[in-house]
A and B are shown apart, each in its own frame.
Chain A
Amino acid sequence: MSAGINIDYISHTFKGQAEPTLKDIDLTIKPAERVALIGRSGCGKSTLLHMLAGLMLPSEGCVRIHGHTLTRPSAKYNMMFQKPSLYPWMTVRQNAELGLLFAGKKDPDKVDRLLAMVGLSDKADVSVQSLSGGQQQRVALARSLATSPEVLLLDEPFSALDAFTRSDLQDEVSRIVGSEDLTMVIVTHDIEEAVAMADRVLIMDANPGRLIGELTINLPFPRNRGAREFSDKRTELMNKFEKLVGDDASPESSGQIDDSAASFAAA
């Protein structure tokens, strides 16, 4: 079962700061919708995502899922980060089943199925420290899915990976989100990633962080990056971002280290 998310005029000011980081964010995300959030580094994307996970509460407004106001984190709304942040003293399997352990449940079959789904069946009992970055992020994905979340929140989850691993994982996550019927919000500063994974892309501006535009991407999954419509959408999103956010063509800040420059070269 997937969940719709209502974001009701959220504003947020961090303690000790004069200016709000987020201002009047109002948004409805439909069940099973896939939303990408793009914007310059520091505009408040991660802050907003933390609020959707219940890991942070807004100083004004609220987030409602199934009509209920979020007040604390829950395994139903799972967040993945740029770093896989696995627990290095656990095996792949132990990491993957941690959420079940916390819930007092045991479901080895499900964990097996998830590890197979992310292609790590043969690594189930090895230390996570022996895995590559991409494999580690796959374990984190299996761990996120083990508690059967309704919402998957992704905070630049692939930006530390090389280009090939990244597009593989984008497709893999898209496939799983489709098959598990999840609602997904992905934060990215990669235009191509947004076009590859989302039904709708939201553009965010900084100071204060607010939503200033959106673009619908009604291409079928799995998406073909080589197709004409794909590159048309990418160009369209790039132009829109440029127009709304400013002259600098890319949604990265100049200071941000990013190896995905290739994604922008085409536009």
Chain B
Amino acid sequence: MNVVEMADNPGKTGAAAASRISWSALRKFALSTIGYPAVGISILLAVWWLGGWVIENDEDISSFAGFAPQPTFLALMNMAASGGLWDMIGPSLYRIGMGLLWAIVAGVPIGVAIGLNASMREISHVPFQFLRMISPLAWMPVAVLAFATWDAAIVFLIAIAAVWPVMFSTAQGVRRIDPLWFKVARNLGADGLQMLRRIIMPAIGQDIFAGIRLAVGVAWIVLVPAEYLGVTSGLGYAINDARDTLEYDTLGAIVVIIGIIGFILDGVCVSLIKRFSWHQQG
């Protein structure tokens, strides 16, 4: 609506348009924040329930019926009530946190360096692509030999899985920086450190966090098998333990917990990417 129309017909048209707009916006908002996720969750639960029902009604495998939604949620309640939940989650989060920290400490500076310097990029290309293709779990024997504690070995496995996405995303972000931004900053008197702090880091903030988001995904996947190693705490250990003691409802509950925490971690990353993005939201 243009200004002239508004002036000719004050109030009515404006108010009508405003309410129309807000209703459709509200509907869209409700759908995307509540409606669609609710449908998605319902489908997931339905499939799960169906699976549980099939298992329960098949004599050969009915001893696994603990996996069905109802026993699983009961076990989840019990675990939450008994207060043992944090003892299981805490060590896992610590290992993930340390692994990611090391991945960032190594990945961001190396990523910036290979993003800025073409010869370093060329030299490192083959070794990095080679190392990247080695499954983190293949490092397990090496990690066990190299580190004194199981904890350190697990952190190493997570770090080596998480470092690549951080490094490559950082490097790609640096390469996408407008060369004029460097030129202008140099002209305005920036030294190397100021260039890094004021231009490069803000320019690639979102790329770093996009890399971290991928890294979190990989790390969270590597965590569980890594915790099958010697340790006696954490989600991976708990899964193994539940399997050995045939507590399938507990096992199901742990799987749910792993999914929920992974979902939350990813959400945190997404909001960090948004926070450090300077692209104007359209």
A contact residues vs B (CB 8 Å cutoff):
53, 55, 73-75, 77-79, 81, 83, 85, 87-89, 98-99, 101-103, 127, 129-130, 143, 147
A-B contact list, 5 entries, CB within 8 Å: A55-B183, A87-B199, A88-B278, A89-B278, A147-B189
Interface string of B88-122 (1 = CB under 8 A from A): 00000000000000000000000000000000000
- The reply to whether the CB of B20 lies closer than 8 angstroms to some CB of chain A is no
Cβ B189 vs Cβ A102 within 8 A: yes
Cβ A85 vs Cβ B189 within 8 A: no
Cβ A55 vs Cβ B186 within 8 A: yes
B contact residues around A143 at 8 Å (CB): 188
Q: Which residues 182-196 in B have Cβ within 8 Å of A in the complex?
A: 183-191, 194
User: Complex Cα distance A79/B203, Å?
Assistant: 22
Cβ A130 vs Cβ B187 within 8 A: no
- With A81-B180, A87-B199, A89-B203 in contact, is A98–B278 under 8 Å at CB? no
From A87, A129, A147, give the contact of B181 (CB < 8 A): A87
Interface string of B189-229 (1 = CB under 8 A from A): 11100100011001101000000000000000000000000
Cβ B180 vs Cβ A85 within 8 A: yes
Interface string of B253-282 (1 = CB under 8 A from A): 000000000000000000000000011100
- The reply to whether the CB of B59 lies closer than 8 angstroms to some CB of chain A is no
Cβ A129 vs Cβ B187 within 8 A: no
A contact residues around B199 at 8 Å (CB): 87
From B184, B189, B203, give the contact of A103 (CB < 8 A): B189
Cβ A85 vs Cβ B198 within 8 A: no
Nearest A residue to B276 via CB reads A89
Cβ A147 vs Cβ B188 within 8 A: yes
User: Complex Cα distance A77/B187, Å?
Assistant: 8
CB distance from B216 to the nearest CB of A (A): 24
Given A85-B183, A87-B202, A102-B185; 4 other pairs, CB 8 A cutoff: A74-B189, A81-B180, A85-B184, A102-B190
CB distance from B66 to the nearest CB of A (A): 52
User: Complex Cα distance A143/B184, Å?
Assistant: 10
CB distance from A57 to the nearest CB of B (A): 13
Cβ A98 vs Cβ B180 within 8 A: no
CB distance from B275 to the nearest CB of A (A): 11
A contact residues around B198 at 8 Å (CB): 98, 101-102
User: Complex Cα distance A102/B185, Å?
Assistant: 9
User: Complex Cα distance A60/B233, Å?
Assistant: 70
- The reply to whether the CB of B244 lies closer than 8 angstroms to some CB of chain A is no
A contact residues around B183 at 8 Å (CB): 55, 79, 81, 85
Nearest B residue to A56 via CB reads B183
From B181, B186, B191, B278, give the contact of A85 (CB < 8 A): B181
A contact residues around B203 at 8 Å (CB): 87, 89
User: Complex Cα distance A89/B201, Å?
Assistant: 11
User: Complex Cα distance A130/B202, Å?
Assistant: 19
Chain A interface helix/strand/loop/mixed: loop
Nearest B residue to A81 via CB reads B180
- The reply to whether the CB of B5 lies closer than 8 angstroms to some CB of chain A is no
From A88, A102, A127, A129, give the contact of B188 (CB < 8 A): A102
CB distance from B181 to the nearest CB of A (A): 6
- With A85-B180, A85-B181, A87-B199 in contact, is A78–B280 under 8 Å at CB? no
User: Complex Cα distance A74/B185, Å?
Assistant: 10
Q: Counting chain A CB atoms within 10 Å of each CB, which of B181, B189, B199 scores highest? A: B189
CB distance from A250 to the nearest CB of B (A): 26
- The reply to whether the CB of B178 lies closer than 8 angstroms to some CB of chain A is yes
Which 10 A-B residue pairs are closest in the complex by CB-CB distance? A89-B278, A99-B188, A85-B180, A75-B189, A102-B189, A129-B280, A88-B278, A89-B202, A102-B190, A73-B187
CB distance from B188 to the nearest CB of A (A): 4
Q: Which residues 160-189 in B have Cβ within 8 Å of A in the complex?
A: 178, 180-181, 183-189
Nearest B residue to A90 via CB reads B202
CB distance from B273 to the nearest CB of A (A): 14
Q: Counting chain A CB atoms within 10 Å of each CB, which of B188, B194, B199, B202 scores highest? A: B188
Cβ A85 vs Cβ B187 within 8 A: no
Q: Which residues 223-243 in B have Cβ within 8 Å of A in the complex?
A: none
Cβ A53 vs Cβ B202 within 8 A: no
User: Complex Cα distance A74/B205, Å?
Assistant: 28
B contact residues around A81 at 8 Å (CB): 180, 183-184
B contact residues around A77 at 8 Å (CB): 187
CB distance from A88 to the nearest CB of B (A): 5
CB distance from B113 to the nearest CB of A (A): 22
User: Complex Cα distance A73/B183, Å?
Assistant: 9
Cβ B188 vs Cβ A98 within 8 A: yes
From A55, A99, A130, give the contact of B280 (CB < 8 A): A130
CB distance from A152 to the nearest CB of B (A): 11
CB distance from A135 to the nearest CB of B (A): 15
CB distance from A5 to the nearest CB of B (A): 16
User: Complex Cα distance A136/B198, Å?
Assistant: 19
Cβ B178 vs Cβ A85 within 8 A: yes
Nearest B residue to A78 via CB reads B187
CB distance from A253 to the nearest CB of B (A): 22
